[in-house]
Amino acid sequence: MHVIVATDGSKQSLDAARKLKSFADPAKIDDISVVAVIRPLAAVAFADDLSAGSRKQAVGEAQGFRAAAESAVATVAAEFDGWGPKVHKRVRSGSPANEIIKAATQYEAGLVVVAAGGRGLSDSVLVGSTAQRVQHYAPCPVLVVRPKPRKPRKARA
Amino acid sequence: MADSTTIDADDDQDSGLKRSITGAQLFFYTLGDVLGSGIYVLIGLVAAAVGGAFWIAFAVGVAVAAITGAAYAELVTKYPQAAGSSLYVQKAFNNKALTFLVTVSFLSASFAATGSLATGFASYFAELWAGPPALLVSLVFVAALVLVNYIGITESVVMNMLMTFIELSGLIIVIGIAIYYVAQGDADFGILGDISVSGNPALAVLAGVAFSFFAMTGFENTANVAEETIDPYKSFPRSLVGGMVVAGIVYVLVSMAAALTVPVDTLAESPAALLEVVKQGILPFSTEAMTKIFTIIALVAITNTTLVTLVTQPRILYGMAREDVVPGVFARIHPVRRSPWVGLLFSGLVVGTLLVTGYAVTAAGGGIDLVNRLALVTVVFLLAIYALVIVTCLKLRGQDEDERAFRANTPLLVVGLVGNLAILYYAIYDDPTSLYWCAGLLAVGVVLYVVERLFGSKGTAATAPPLETDREV
């Protein structure tokens, strides 16, 4: 089975990847594709909150959004190191939900893993959530990982 | 399906690197960005400055801008990261202060442009519904666009193309009216050679060029999508310069059309000048309906360009915050929406303040045309940056050369540089008070810089806020 793990560079997407690892049987998974989608027309096309090393740069040495996406993908992919399945790193660009669905079709995925995004007001009032669209239109089952309930500290950093 | 899987299988590291913007999309992005900005808002000012021959001003402005566009195209193909003018200046001069100055100037210009566009929006909006005061309309307009950007629905390429076609249709209506008018034999072509302003005609044209230049701005925003363009070496220069040239031709035709059909005095006095062409009732349709349709088209056009400026500002702030030039909060990304909400909010506030200040000045002192002033402020900054970009382009020759990179014609670049400087000189000479406005806008940047220096030295940008604290609300 080919599993697609989507990341938008957020911590939640890393949590989603960990969730998959926490219960899935690596023997049943042949391939994992970690997919990041760059949004070229967005104000910030891709923001990487995951890889610590990428955050500081000298003035003018601005790395592109593509580099940010690649390092986020690398961080998430590193989660699956030594787990078993072959891990592919993929960066696409366009509308996130569309590209995730396209990737799922293209790689004949058996499962798509996404983070649910928010919880609360912004999620219900402002429609257009990527996870929501992936759930509706993906060609395969979708694992939507909800954020953990609010706690003073995260269980695992 | 199956064959694409085999293509990807070759390499784990870089397989499936997909770029999404095609040359055609980039062309329409440029066209939409450029077309929307000035023509609907500023054509009256250009007409006032020059007289019936104001199409010459557009032709000159467009030519100079297109040459600058060629310099941008060369730099973009050499350094395809999404960063724009400040990156290039840094590469060429390696001077932090200069880079900072360029970035702040560009941001200020962008803020001023947004303010000007918002005022233009209000002028056209008054045609549909004269009820609400203009200031309120422009403020609500900016607030709505900030929200739209936050949600992220502007990111659709299809929507972008659709808006560009709507913009284009409005200008085609204007040209169509003029063709119909000419075909009827009523047109007096003498007006096209008329420079009615007293004094040196060359200076009058230069004044017009300074205004018309505003209409060409916006093309530099396309550098933002360079990184995601398919085959950027080939398609980027073509789409950028091509888009600008097409926009320029449309501008010249539209200004001729306006001059032929409407008395120059009427154009000069109207805040929504292109509407006057439609209001002449030349076409055998209901003038009232045409006016309504055209107003809506103009509103769409202005909205499109304003949206792009509001995408660019937080993006620049984000980049600066990541480089620790401005406070790290500007690098803050909404955990769910993935949009730079602090930067967006800040942009909205600055533009709002600008609008309110301008309104207060008009109300208190009177006599100052806000759009006029804001547009000129924009132009002073941009001309300086454009001149510097051309210098940068020339200075970086021989460095990082790549045979695939686009190379702009050198004598043409020199002409462009002289052109930019001449317009810049005239813009300041004509209206020295615009320097105060420039200083005010720059001050905002300096304050940010000082704040960063005082409080941000520990690299605020480097630590992402923990998710929990970010979701308190």
Structurally, chain A folds into a number of domains equal to 1
Superfamily of domain B37-456: Amino acid/polyamine transporter I (1.20.1740.10)
Handedness of CA B221, B35, B150, A102 (dihedral sign): negative
Q: Tell me if chain B has a CB within 8 Å of the CB of A10.
A: yes
SS3 A40: coil
Q: How far is CA A132 from CA A44, A105, A145, B28, B184, in A?
A: 21, 17, 12, 30, 58
pLDDT at A104 over 90: yes
- Give the C-alpha separation, B82 to A66, whole Å: 9
Q: Does B96 contact chain A (CB < 8 Å)?
A: yes
- State which residue of chain A sits closest to B344, comparing Cα positions: A43
Domain span at residue A139 reads 2-145
User: What pLDDT shows up at residue B2?
Assistant: 36
| CB within 8 Å: A40 and B99 | no
For B30-59, what is each residue's pLDDT tens digit?
Answer: 888 888 766 777 788 788 888 878 888 888
Question: What is the DSSP annotation of B136-184?
Answer: HHHHHHHHHHHHHHHHTGGG-HHHHHHHHHHHHHHHHHHHHHHHHHHHT
Which backbone phi and psi does B396 adopt, to 5 degrees?
-85, 5
User: Is residue A157 one of the residues assigned to a domain?
Assistant: no
The reply to whether B336 touches chain A by the CB within 8 Å rule is yes
The distance of A120 to chain B (nearest Cα, Å) reads 9
- Is residue B376 within 8 Å of residue B108, measured between CB atoms? no
pLDDT of residue A140: 93
Coil, helix or strand at residue B227: helix
Classify A143 as helix, strand or coil.
strand
> Which of A1, A31, A59 to mutate to probe the B interface, most B CBs <10 Å?
A59
The verdict on residue A30 lying in a domain is yes
Query: Which contiguous run of DSSP H or E holds residue B353?
Result: helix B341-364
Query: Of B216, B111, B143, nearest to B442 (Cα)?
Result: B111
Quote the radius of gyration of chain B (alpha carbons, Å). Answer: 22
- Which tens digit of pLDDT belongs to each residue from A3-31? 999 998 888 888 889 999 999 888 999 99
Helical H segments across B231-340, by residue range? 232-261, 264-269, 273-279, 287-322
| Residue A22 lies inside a defined structural domain of this protein | yes
Distance CA B386, CA B423 (A): 11
A151 within a domain of the structure (yes/no): no
The pLDDT assigned to B369 comes to 63
Q: What is the pLDDT of residue B155?
A: 65
Is B18 an interface residue toward A (CB < 8 Å)? yes
Q: For residue A155, is it within any domain?
A: no
CA of A103: which chain B residue's CA is closest?
Answer: B16
Nearest C-alpha of chain B: how many angstroms from A131? 11
A40 contacts on B by Cβ (under 8 Å): 20-21, 155, 224-225, 227-228
**3-class secondary structure, B71:** helix
Tokens of A41: 């027309």
Nearest CA to A6 among A88, A122, A120, A118? A88
pLDDT in tens, A42-101: 778 888 877 765 444 443 445 678 888 888 899 999 999 888 899 999 998 888 888 899
Indicate the pTM of the whole model: 0.79
Q: Locate tokens 């001309």: which residue? A: B383
Q: Which two tokens stand for residue B113?
A: 């442009």
d(CA A127, CA B167): 28
- Chain A residues touching B314 at Cβ < 8 A: 43-44
All residue ranges of chain B with pLDDT < 70 are 1-18, 37-38, 81-83, 152-156, 195-199, 224, 325, 366-372, 374-375, 456-473
- Residue B456 pLDDT: 58
Q: What is the pLDDT of residues B215-261, one digit of tens each?
A: 777 777 777 677 778 887 888 888 888 988 998 898 888 888 888 88
Interchain CB distance below 8 Å, A44 and B338: yes
Answer yes or no: do B461 and A55 touch at CB < 8 A. yes
Between chains, do B311 and A42 touch, taking CB under 8 Å as contact? yes
Which residues from B are below 8 Å from A60, CB to CB? Answer: 86-87, 89-91, 94, 99, 323
Residue of A5, A41, A61 to mutate when probing chain B, most B C-beta within 10 A: A41
Q: Does B228 touch chain A (CB under 8 A)?
A: yes
Q: Which comes out higher in pLDDT, residue A36 or B324? A: A36
User: What is the rounded CA–CA span in Å between residue B320 and residue B99?
Assistant: 10
Q: One-letter amino acid identity for B358?
A: G
Q: What is the Rg, in whole angstroms, of the alpha carbon atoms belonging to chain A? A: 15
**Model pLDDT for residues B290-319, shown as the tens digit of each residue:** 888 888 888 888 888 888 888 888 888 887
Please tell me if residue B12 touches chain A, with a CB cutoff of 8 Å.
Answer: yes
User: Taking a contact as any Cβ pair under 8 Å apart, which residues of chain A between 95 and 124 contact chain B?
Assistant: 95, 99, 103, 105-108, 117-123
Supply the pLDDT for residue B154.
60
Q: Which of B262, B282, B281, B289 is nearest to B273 (CA)?
A: B262
pLDDT of residue B4: 34
Q: Would the CB atoms of B82 and A64 count as touching at under 8 Å?
A: yes
DSSP B194: -
Residue A153 lies in a domain: no
Domain boundaries, chain B: 37-456
Please give the interface size between A and B, counted as residue pairs whose CB atoms are below 8 Å apart.
178
Read off the CATH number of the domain in which A87 is found.
3.40.50.620
